[in-house]
Amino acid sequence: MKRQIINIDQEKCNGCGLCIPDCPEGALQLIDGKARLVSDLFCDGLGACISTCPQDAIHIEEREAEPYDERKVMENIVKQGAMVIRAHLEHLDGHNETKLLNEALNFLKEKNIAVPEFGKKKAAPQPLHVHAHGGGCPGAAAMSINRGPVQADDLRQAGPVASQLRQWPVQLKLLNPAAQYFDNAHLLLAADCVPFAYGDFHNRFLKDKIVIMFCPKLDPYIEEYVEKMTAILSTHEIQSITVLHMEVPCCGGVNMILKKAMERAGKNIFVKDYTISIKGEII
């Protein structure tokens, strides 16, 4: 059948991977250093991936393609958790794809999977409240987190928390890959939002580590980041790497940057990977 579907200009694509998290349907993968459309069945042709491509390499075209299959998409979606389910439902809702949205909701009902709050179809208010934002990455959703009142006694008992920071700067954009503090280091790669979401960041994760921070969604330096990480891994003996990223799909770029750097550096270093929820819990 002839329908709208994405087309990736392989000449323009630089393999940054920023489009991958914005396709929770699973239609895109990085193959041989380029973003590829791996299945017509999974591409709905609505173009959620287009706005995150810094190279303007993704466009919508009309061509012969296999029909989009919402049930097959949902089989992939549910494996990725509630935040990705919500992103997909809001994506369909924001584009007024009522038929596909109903198929998705019916699939969740059949599998006894809770329907997360989204768009126009809001559930009863919960402590973690997500407001409609018209589709796209769930990391852009406005949220209010009700933690309840903090008791004065709790604050007095806690006391000041000592910083565990061992180096400066911390942002990958500013770091010198030749810095001596990388020698025999235990690295901590953290997305920018993690220290704000996870209350015990310093004692639980930062202690005795060299931290590298960046935002895989908003920073426009992805290829530079891969090159810097490659230089760090190639120049220094690294003991271990801990990765911290948020549960939102667009935060998966932290792992992508590390993976590409490890491949280029020819290193196989032990990695601990932690996902932090927006509520501040380790998933």
Q: Given this model, what pLDDT does residue 52 score?
A: 75
For the record, the structure tokens of 15 come out as 């393999």
Of 116-120, 175-179, 190-194, 204-208, the poorest mean pLDDT is in 116-120
Q: Given this model, what pLDDT does residue 223 score?
A: 83
For domain 1-68, give the CATH number.
3.30.70.20
Segment 58-80, tens digit of pLDDT: 998 889 988 899 998 899 888 87
Instruction: Measure the CA–CA gap between 275 and 283, rounded to whole angstroms.
Output: 5
First to last CA, the chain: 42
Instruction: Measure the CA–CA gap between 17 and 20, rounded to whole angstroms.
Output: 5
Closest CA to 191 of 89, 273, 129, 123: 273
Return the residue matching tokens 């794809």.
97
Task: Name the residue ranges covered by the structural domains of the chain.
Answer: 1-68, 82-146, 163-276
Segment 37-50, tens digit of pLDDT: 988 888 988 887 88
Is 163-276 a domain of CATH 1.10.1200?
Answer: no
For the record, the structure tokens of 56 come out as 């303007």
Kindly report the average pLDDT of the chain as a whole number: 83
Band (pLDDT 50/70/90 cuts) for residue 217 is confident
Closest CA to 187 of 228, 248, 247, 139: 228
CA distances to 13, 190, 257 from 214, in Å = 22, 7, 11
Percent of all residues in the chain with a pLDDT value above 90, rounded to a whole number? 41
Residue range 181-207: average pLDDT? 95
- Do 163-276 and 1-68 fall under one CATH topology? no
Task: Please check the confidence at residue 147 and state whether its pLDDT lies above 50.
Answer: yes
Segment 10-57, tens digit of pLDDT: 999 988 888 887 787 888 888 888 888 988 888 988 887 887 788 889
Contact indicator for 266, 211 with CB cutoff of 8 Å: no
